[in-house]
């Protein structure tokens, strides 16, 4: 409460500073900062913001998240998830994982209030997955807390709610949020009270007492003292229950004493045989019309009557309390059935609406589908024709390049090859076979240049018939190394990561073959792939010049080294 005037002043200043036409991200962040301690003030400021003042998707998403959060914290029903979806859809594709986790948390709350617990659990699970990748422990704790409450409402009996509350408490501790940590600790103490794990009840109630003392929250402190007193009563430790309840009554000031404390004190005195004191504190219990309060009064009165040995009236009030308990249970079941029926009716109406929407839209979908198919067929036909023309043009251009390159009919390596060496003879035959293929391709262009289909057919046939056999170029690196002054050894020593394909490509460059000629060697119908291979190999070797220039420099270097060696010897 001490911070409230400060936040009101802050809201006033911020409201005065923003223009009538825009809301800045920093302004929304200032509202976010007051959300935890002063959600009512945050909600009032958010309500005054016009949608026209939100200029970007980022601002609209942040505003949607804050407004949903403020409504929830001010107990305003969240009847649909359309608003929070603005934030969810925006933050899903952004790097701000913390806001995305928070948006999913409040989407889950919206869906839960729309009576779809199963879907809400799925959304909470996704929110937890996102939150765990961040350091936003407060949001992670809130997600686990919401899941725990939902598990309780769904009557899941595998203690999933308890485990979730424990996780929530740990994350609230990591976040340094004592208020939430206290709430969960006190709640866990109450959950464990009616079980056989009474030690756990005392443990969590003690934790809650410590946190209440640290927060200097006297209401929370004495509330948990009352819970501890009632736990002693359940353990039949009547003296400690009485002493704790008396401590609460004697020391709690300025705050009304709860009826549960008077019940505990009255029942403890009855069990200790002090019926006058039991009657005294029983009379201080307020007269309530709530069925649960009436049931508690009947049980306390029964305890007093048994202590007074008035078993006849004790039996009568025991019957009254039993009937009242049965009616409370029946009413609870009726409410559950009503919720189930309402959920079923809502689902049924939703299904009917979906079927109606589907029946009205199906014709539109069919028309759109037919139109799309027609468009796709037309585009496909056009693309096929265009691709065919481009393919023919590329092949013609490819052959034209072959015609103009002077290295076609005379190559230095072929001149150097020794016909006396069987390896060199086989290599020369392989290379000459590919050069013959080049001649045949040129011939194809002359013979079928005016008939596109026949040209493409004979082009592909010629290129594929004269394929190099497996291993035809296996000896190329050795021959090139011998004929060109050990250049391959030099390059392999300098670049240890070169593989066989890399070496063969370098060998062909050393021999002076052009990219177009090399394309024929590799059975490619154009030179683009060779240029790509040369570029990738240059990157692999870490060159800052082209591969052709580097190979030329390497040949010159090796030749120079050889001449120096010969001169010296």
Greater model confidence, 350 or 30: 30
Residue 297 has pLDDT above 80, yes or no: yes
Lowest mean pLDDT among 7-16, 249-258, 389-398: 7-16
Residue 445 CA to residue 267 CA, distance in Å, equals: 111
Unique residue bearing structure tokens 């976040």:
175
How confident is the model over 191-242, as pLDDT tens digits?
998 888 889 999 999 999 999 999 988 888 888 989 999 999 888 999 999 9
Concatenating the DSSP letter of every residue in 319-377 gives HHHHHHHHHHHHHHHHHHHHHHHHHHHHHHHHHHHHHHHHHHHHHHHHHHHHHHHHHHH
Contact 185, 208 (CB under 8 A): yes
Question: Which residue matches tokens 């392989």?
Answer: 430
Residues 6+ apart with CB under 8 A from 397: 526
- The reported pTM is 0.54
Which region, left, alpha or beta, applies to residue 102 given φ > 0 means left and ψ of -120 to 50 means alpha?
Answer: alpha
Instruction: Check pLDDT > 90 for residue 17.
Output: no
Task: Note the pLDDT of residue 442.
Answer: 55
What integer is the mean pLDDT of 34-45? 88
Instruction: Write the DSSP string, 2-52.
Output: TTHHHHHHHHHHHHHHS-SS---HHHHHHHHHTTTT-HHHHHHHHHT--GG
Domains parsed from the chain with CATH numbers: 193-309 (1.25.40.10), 406-568 (no CATH)
Lowest mean pLDDT among 101-110, 212-221, 410-419: 410-419
Extract long-range pairs of 227-230: CB within 8 Å, 24+ residues apart.
Answer: 227/186, 227/189, 227/190, 227/193, 228/202, 229/261, 229/264, 229/265, 230/193, 230/260, 230/264
The two three-digit tokens of residue 530, written as one number? 């060779």
Q: In this predicted structure, what is the pLDDT of residue 423?
A: 47
Neighbours of 113 (CB within 10 A): 15
**How far, in Å, are 38, 170, 522 from residue 128 at the CA level?**
25, 14, 55
Instruction: Give the least confident one: 110-114, 227-231, 333-337, 468-472.
Output: 468-472
Q: Which residues 6+ apart lie within 8 Å of 316 measured at CB?
A: none
Angle at alpha carbon of residue 323, lines to 317 and 326, rounded to 5°: 140
The dihedral region occupied by 471, where left means phi > 0, alpha psi between -120 and 50, and beta the remainder, is: left
In degrees, rounded to 5, the angle at the alpha carbon of residue 339 between the alpha carbons of residues 335 and 345 is 140
Residue 253 has pLDDT above 60, yes or no: yes
Q: What is the pLDDT of residue 507?
A: 83
Q: Rounded distance, CA 444 to CA 403, Å? A: 12
Residues 242, 249: Cα–Cα separation, whole Å: 11
Question: How does DSSP assign 89-139, residue by residue?
Answer: HHHHTSS-HHHHHHHHHHHHHHHHHTT-HHHHHHHHHHHHHHHTTSS-HHH
Residue among 469, 402, 400 at smallest CA distance from 429:
469
Length of the chain in terms of residues written: 569
Separation between Cα atoms, residue 232 and residue 247, nearest integer Å: 14
Query: What's the CA gap between 300 and 280, in Å, rounded?
Result: 12
Query: Scanning the structure block, which residue is given the tokens 């028309």?
Result: 367
DSSP string, 458-502: HHHHHHHHTPPPTTTTTTHHHHHHHHTTTHHHHHHHH-TT--HHH
Report DSSP state, residue 409: T
Dist CA 295 CA 302 (whole Å): 11
């Amino acid at each position: 409460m001490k911070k409230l005037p400060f936040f009101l002043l802050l809201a006033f200043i911020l409201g005065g500073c923003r223009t009538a036409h825009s809301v800045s991200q920093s302004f929304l962040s200032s509202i976010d900062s007051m959300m935890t301690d002063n959600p009512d003030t945050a909600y009032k400021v958010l309500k005054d913001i016009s949608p026209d003042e939100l200029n970007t998707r980022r601002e609209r998403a942040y505003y949607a998240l804050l407004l949903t959060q403020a409504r929830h914290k001010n107990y305003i029903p969240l009847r649909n998830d359309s608003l929070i979806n603005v934030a969810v859809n925006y933050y899903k594709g952004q790097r701000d994982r913390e806001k995305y986790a928070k948006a999913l948390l409040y989407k889950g709350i919206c869906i839960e209030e729309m009576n779809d617990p199963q879907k809400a659990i799925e959304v909470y699970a996704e929110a937890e997955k996102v939150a765990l990748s961040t350091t936003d422990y407060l949001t992670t704790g809130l997600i686990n807390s919401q899941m725990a409450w939902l598990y309780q409402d769904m009557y899941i009996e595998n203690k999933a709610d308890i485990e979730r509350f424990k996780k929530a408490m740990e994350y609230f501790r990591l976040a340094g949020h004592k208020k939430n940590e206290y709430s969960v600790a006190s709640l866990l103490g109450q959950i464990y009270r009616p079980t056989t794990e009474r030690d756990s009840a005392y443990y969590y109630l003690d934790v809650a007492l410590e946190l209440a003392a640290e927060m200097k929250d006297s209401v929370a402190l004495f509330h948990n003292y009352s819970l501890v007193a009632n736990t002693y009563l359940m353990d039949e430790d009547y003296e400690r229950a009485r002493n704790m309840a008396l401590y609460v009554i004697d020391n709690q000031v300025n705050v009304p004493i709860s009826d549960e404390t008077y019940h505990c004190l009255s029942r403890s005195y009855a069990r200790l045989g002090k019926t006058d004191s039991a009657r005294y504190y029983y009379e201080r219990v307020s007269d309530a019309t709530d069925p649960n309060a009436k049931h508690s009064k009947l049980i306390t009165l029964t305890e007093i009557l048994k202590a007074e040995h008035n078993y006849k009236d004790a039996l009568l009030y025991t019957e009254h309390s039993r009937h009242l308990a049965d009616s409370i249970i029946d009413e609870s079941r009726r409410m559950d059935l009503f919720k189930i029926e309402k959920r079923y009716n809502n689902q049924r109406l939703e299904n009917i609406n979906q079927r109606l929407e589907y029946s009205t839209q199906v014709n539109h979908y069919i028309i759109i589908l037919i139109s799309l198919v027609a468009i796709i067929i037309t585009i496909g036909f056009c693309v096929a024709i265009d691709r065919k023309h481009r393919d023919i043009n590329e092949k013609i251009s490819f052959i034209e390049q072959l015609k103009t390159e002077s290295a076609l009919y005379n190559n230095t390596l072929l001149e150097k090859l020794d016909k006396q060496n069987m390896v060199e003879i086989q290599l020369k035959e392989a290379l000459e076979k590919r050069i013959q293929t080049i001649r045949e391709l040129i011939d194809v262009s002359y013979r079928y240049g005016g008939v596109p289909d026949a040209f493409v057919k004979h082009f592909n046939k010629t290129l594929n018939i004269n394929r190099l056999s497996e291993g035809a170029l296996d000896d190329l690196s050795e021959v090139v190394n011998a004929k060109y002054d050990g250049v391959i050894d030099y390059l392999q020593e300098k670049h240890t990561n070169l593989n066989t394909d890399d070496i063969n490509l370098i060998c062909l460059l050393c021999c002076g073959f052009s990219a177009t000629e090399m394309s024929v060697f590799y059975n490619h119908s154009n030179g683009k792939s060779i240029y790509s291979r040369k570029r990738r190999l240059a990157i692999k070797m870490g060159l800052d010049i082209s591969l052709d220039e580097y190979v030329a420099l390497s040949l010159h270097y090796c030749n120079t080294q050889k001449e120096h060696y010969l001169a010296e010897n």
